[in-house]
Amino acid sequence: MADMKPVRTAVILAAGLGTRMLPATKAVPKELLPVFDTPLIQLTVEEAVASGIRRVVFVIAEGKEAIREHFAPNGRVVRWLRERGQHALAEVVERPAHLAEYVFAWQDAPLGIAHAVRCAREHIAGEPFLLMFPDDLILSQRPCAAQLIEAYERTGGTVIAVHEVPPADIPQYGIVAPDGEGNPVRLRGVVEKPPAERAPSNLGIVGRYVLSDTILDHIERIKPGAGGELQITDAIASQIAAGEPVHALRYEGERFDTGRPAGWLAASVAVALRRPDARPLVAAHLARLLGEQVRSP
């Protein structure tokens, strides 16, 4: 589409309290917990950058100042390493500061995803953007964000990443209602956490979106739901109701919910097994531990 605006900015939501990971997240932002040896939020930024993004807006809140420090250049640790001649390690530690241009927006109350997006309004108004939740780590040959941007370039409008979920898990997801077949497929509706028997499909939304430049106008039109929160699914439903194109993409890749202890641990193991320097040791320990489980009564 000749007049389509390019996706140049990613908004990464990092203002949540991390209650599912307590007590680990009492003082440490959950987004800085390492997946193997790299903070989760750095992996999210790396995915965005590998997908062509050059500008990242972090939405943070009180207690998340360490995220800003992680992406700041020439910090105390970097200076200490350089003073001692450990230049290779200093480059590894410094690298996140130079992946992209960074902007920080503040969410002063946990009032929902759409509210968090609205907090970034001054940095994204008038253009489409990539919305990313660090809790969802997606390992794939081609970054999930790149798959979404490519779909957006074909369809225009908003594009949502989805995957098939078992019936028992449907009430935990926003569920899309496809209008026909295809991938991406145009949507006729979006429902937030429906009962399985009333769900329009088994396609659940995960934390990757390309949101068109009208989304902020629709956020202003929706009303708060439970707990006074503004839901992004309500804003997307408003786009659909207005006749705007909204599509779902069944992405290729393996998703881990790192906002839960077991999902975070599984993601760390999966990342370690992809690392040639770590795989032999991790695989040997897993084989031993699993063998012990099999032998135990």
Q: With bands split at pLDDT 50, 70 and 90, how would you rate the model's confidence at 293?
A: low
Residue range 175-189, pLDDT digits in tens = 999 998 999 999 999
- The answer, yes or no, to whether residue 294 has pLDDT greater than 60, is no
pLDDT of residue 268: 96
Q: Is residue 274 part of a domain?
A: no
pLDDT of residue 97: 94
- Who has greater pLDDT, 225 or 14? 14
Instruction: Assess contact for 157 and 245: CB atoms under 8 A.
Output: yes
Instruction: Assess contact for 270 and 40: CB atoms under 8 A.
Output: no
pLDDT of residue 42: 97
Structure tokens at 118: 């609205």
Q: Is residue 154 part of a domain?
A: yes
Residue range 34-61, pLDDT digits in tens = 999 999 999 999 999 999 999 999 999 9
Could you give the percent of the chain with pLDDT greater than 70? 97
Residue range 230-249, pLDDT digits in tens = 999 999 999 999 999 999 99
Q: With bands split at pLDDT 50, 70 and 90, how would you rate the model's confidence at 1?
A: low
Q: Is residue 1 part of a domain?
A: no
Q: Is residue 267 part of a domain?
A: no
Q: How many domains does the chain contain in total?
A: 1
Q: Is residue 287 part of a domain?
A: no
Q: Is residue 290 part of a domain?
A: no
pLDDT of residue 82: 93
Confidence (pTM): 0.92
- A 10 A CB-CB count for 69 gives 11
Residue range 55-89, pLDDT digits in tens = 999 999 998 999 999 999 888 899 999 999 999 99
Beta bridge partners of 247: 159, 186
Q: With bands split at pLDDT 50, 70 and 90, how would you rate the model's confidence at 291?
A: confident
Eight-class DSSP state of 209: E
Residue 251 sits in a domain whose CATH number is 3.90.550.10
Residue range 270-285, pLDDT digits in tens = 999 999 999 999 999 9
Mean pLDDT (the chain, rounded): 93
In 3-state terms, what secondary structure has residue 256?
Answer: strand
**Cα–Cα–Cα angle for 124, 218, 215, rounded to 5 degrees:** 35
The boundaries of the domain holding residue 207 are 9-260
Task: Report the Cα–Cα distance between both ends of the chain, in Å, rounded.
Answer: 62
How many Cα neighbours within 13 Å face the side chain of 68?
Answer: 12
In 3-state terms, what secondary structure has residue 236?
Answer: helix
Q: Is residue 38 part of a domain?
A: yes
Q: Is residue 214 part of a domain?
A: yes
